[in-house]
């Protein structure tokens, strides 16, 4: 067995955080499409001296605050997550270094060594959300796995989630006994019939 992926996956309440995207080109558009697909109410500020028409069209009905000028340090005020997408390695590095000094998480597109986090593949079926990471080694494989899972997971998965939540609420006892009972019930869902 090879090395293990050391990344720790988390699911952020993007609508409660303030995101900054630096850059207005195709990469910025790609990152925003990814973010808004998963979190339609994310709080985003976009700062760039030039913003492509496609990017402007995408954000016209989204909660994006646009600042059309070069990045400056004041843009980091109150931001929790920053994504640098410019075509200038110097600007991207400046953004990352400024984020480091302020303890702000940063992602520099296509530069894994300057990333505090990666934007992996995400499968969403109702309330079920699955994150996929290849530790930056193959975004294409993450994409293919996402597409596969989207195909095989039923659209009705929310009904199952509601049923399980309702069942859990009927259980008596302490937390440990509830976990044991829920494990018994959900184990049946994934039982593999090889007999």
Q: What is the pLDDT of residues 12-33, one digit of tens each?
A: 999 999 999 999 999 999 999 9
Q: Is 2 contained in some domain? A: no
Is there a contact between 147 and 130 (Cβ–Cβ < 8 Å)? no
Mark whether 46 and 93 lie in a shared domain. Answer: yes
Q: Is 147 contained in some domain? A: no
Mark whether 31 and 104 lie in a shared domain. Answer: yes
pLDDT at residue number 191: 67
Mark whether 166 and 108 lie in a shared domain. Answer: no
Q: Is 123 contained in some domain? A: no
pLDDT tens column, 86-134: 999 999 999 999 999 999 999 999 898 999 998 888 998 989 999 998 8
Query: Could you tell me what percent of the chain has a pLDDT over 90?
Result: 68
How many Cβ atoms from other residues are within 10 Å of residue 85's Cβ?
Answer: 25
Number of domains the chain is built from: 2
Asked if the model's pLDDT at residue 168 lies above 60, the reply is yes
Which of 11, 9, 31 lies closest to 20, judged by CA?
Answer: 31
Mark whether 112 and 24 lie in a shared domain. Answer: yes
Which of 28, 23, 30 lies closest to 91, judged by CA?
Answer: 23
Q: Which domain holds residue 173?
A: 157-190
Mark whether 92 and 161 lie in a shared domain. Answer: no
Q: Is 81 contained in some domain? A: yes
Mark whether 88 and 169 lie in a shared domain. Answer: no
**Predicted TM-score of the model (pTM):** 0.85
Q: Is 6 contained in some domain? A: no
Measured between its terminal Cα atoms, the distance across the chain in Å is 29
Q: At a CB cut-off of 8 Å and minimum separation 6, what does 178 contact? A: 168, 171
């Amino acid at each position: 067995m090879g090395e293990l992926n050391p990344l720790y996956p988390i699911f952020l309440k993007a609508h409660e955080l303030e995101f900054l995207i630096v850059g207005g080109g195709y990469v910025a558009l790609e990152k925003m499409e990814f973010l808004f697909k998963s979190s339609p109410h994310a709080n985003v500020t976009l700062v760039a001296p030039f913003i492509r028409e496609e990017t402007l069209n995408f954000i016209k009905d989204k909660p994006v605050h646009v600042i059309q000028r070069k990045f400056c340090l004041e843009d980091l005020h109150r931001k929790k997550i920053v994504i640098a997408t410019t075509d200038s390695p110097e600007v991207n590095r400046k953004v990352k270094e400024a984020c480091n000094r302020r303890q702000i998480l940063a992602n520099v597109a296509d530069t894994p060594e300057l990333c505090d986090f990666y934007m992996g593949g995400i499968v969403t079926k109702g309330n079920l959300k699955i994150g996929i990471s290849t530790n930056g080694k193959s975004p294409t494989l993450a994409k293919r796995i996402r597409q596969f899972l989207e195909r095989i997971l039923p659209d009705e998965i929310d009904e199952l989630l509601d049923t399980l939540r309702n069942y859990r609420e009927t259980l008596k006892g302490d937390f440990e006994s509830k976990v044991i009972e829920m494990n018994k019930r959900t184990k049946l869902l994934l039982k593999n019939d090889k007999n």
